[in-house]
Each structure stands twice: as structure tokens, then as C-alpha cells.
Amino acid sequence: MRDSSSKAPLPDAASFSAAPAIAAEAAAWLSYLAGERRASRHTVEAYRRDLAAFLAFLTEHLGARPGAAELQALQPADLRAFLAKRRRDGLESRSLLRALAAVRNFLRFLEKKGLARADVFGAVRPPKRPHSLPKALTVTDARDIVDPAQRAGEAREPWVIARDAAVLALLYGAGLRISEALSTARDAAPVGAADRVTILGKGGKSRTVPVIAPVRAAIEAYLALCPYELAGGPLFVGARGGPLSPRIVQLAVERLRGALGLPDSATPHALRHSFATHLLGKGGDLRTIQELLGHASLSTTQIYTAVDKARLLDAYRSAHPRAAD
């Protein structure tokens, strides 16, 4: 279910350094992304920051708040200067690519109204996309991090420890994003004979994923201990009975990292990566994994073939007698 409380208020035109007409169009564009395009709150906020930075740059670069005439007269050199400025500000290639995409998207929005031109991007070479691979846990570490017994002795109520274990079990056992796990309704909980859960993923797309017995058992253990009445509300709640914050789950994993001696890359999202990597390592096909993860494109899922190949190469180099020759 979609959490309507996660929708952040959109900025008004006054928050953009541009001529009034363009500033109003900027606010309208963000509303279009959140409404018709159903972009996530995080995507809309990131694009808002990128566009605000671009318009502020143009104001300084051109010596005046940009209007339609200035946007129609943009040259490739202007965009390159913007990227160079953002690079000096400390943005890495991934963030620069997103900023470029945000500006291009906005100018195309304006181009349909005759207020700008977007063909200027054809002469701008985008930053190289980084080839960082997802960091998956080993099977043993993934099992340990979802095992509530690893937190025995913590000064926390048993139901809180059981709750965290149930959330982490869903991330690793069903490949959910943390936002998807925390938006699951109590009435849709995969318990008993209900061996699957339907969630609303990125872009408002619904998918149904199977939930294996150990994950269902973890959820049932949490429900048996939870002191709150959950019917009609979210499955996972915080200490006071309200919706559970992702930060609480992240802090729980940080404590587990210290106790288990795991690297900083061991995060809640790493459990989703581990789900995909371990399935692939056991012979799962990419199309099935794509559907389970809710990826719109198979190319997004294919990154896990590189993860699995890297794991195999590491095992070979550490174990084969001739690997060091």
C-alpha cells in the first residue's frame, strides 16, 4: 500500500532562482513528476535540488535570473560549465548524471511549451557511469544478520528484536526494498497459509512475491510478541505504535555489524542484493530474479551476473594452487 504520509510538500515558484514564468514552470514540472509520472518522493526531491542548483548557476553565469529567452539560447558550453561547477562542488559521476537527467527532463518539459530547447544536450558528453557493483553478504553472514539470537543480551524488549528480525528476514528472504517491507499492511502479512505478499514498488507498480516458511515464521514470532493492535494499519510499528522508521532498522543493522564484525557495506539494502546474488549462485534465471526484484529492465538485473562472477573469481584466486603463479 502507498504511504500517503511519505509525500513531501512540493516547493513553490519562489524557491527557484529564475524569471517568474520559468520558476512557475519549475514548480509545475515537479508537480507533474509527482502526479502524472508517479515519481517517488526521493526522486522528486533529488530533481528539485538539481534543478535549483542549475537555475542558481545560470543566474550567476548569465548575470540575471534566466527566462525563456536565456533557456532557448543555451549553448553546450553553458551545460559543460554547469557540470564543471557541480564537479568542483564535490558531486561524483552518479550524481552528475542524475543532475544532467533532471535538467534535460525539465527543458524537454519547457520545449513542449515553446519556452526552451533541449537539443543542446546532443553536444554534451555525459560523465562516465561508475561501474560499482552491489555488495552482497556471504550466505553465513546474511543468515546471522536476520537471526534474532545474535542480539541476545541487548537491553531491548523482545518484541522489538523480533520485529527487526522479521523486517530483515523479508529483505533477505523476499528481496524487498526496505520501503516496501515497511509499507506492508498488517492485513496483507504473509503468515500461516499465506505464502506470498503483494507490494507496491517503484513507480507505483504492484508485484507479488513468494515468502518462504522461515520468513513467515519470523513474522509470526514478531506478531505473537507485539503489544499493539495492528489490524487496519502497518505490519511493522515503532516503539510507540506508529509506523516504523527505516532509520530504526538501519541502526539495528549497524549494531549487528559491530557484533558480527561485518563491513560498513552490510546494510539493510545489502540484504536485497544478497537475495539476488545468492539466487543467481544457486542457478536462478535472470528473468525470474528480475520479476522478484521488481526491476523494470532486465539490464538492471544483469549487474548481478557481474557480482556472481566476481565472487567466483575471488574463490578461485584464494583456493586454486596455481592462482598465484
Catalytic residues: 177, 202, 269, 272, 295, 304
Buried b (16+ CB within 10 A) or exposed e, 184-221: bbbeebbbeeeeebebbbbeeeeeebebeeebbebbbb
Distance CA 228, CA 216 (A): 19
Which H or E run contains 209?
A: strand 206-210
d(CA 133, CA 250): 21
DSSP-H helix ranges across 183-302 = 213-225, 246-260, 268-281, 286-293, 298-301
Task: Report the Cα 271 to chain-centroid distance in Å.
Answer: 13
Q: Are 79 and 124 in contact (CB under 8 A)?
A: yes
Q: Which among 298, 284, 296 has a CA at the least distance from the CA of 38?
A: 296
Give CA–CA dist 180/204, Å, rounded.
11
Those residues whose C-beta lies under 8 Å from the C-beta of residue 132, and which sit 6 or more positions away, are: none
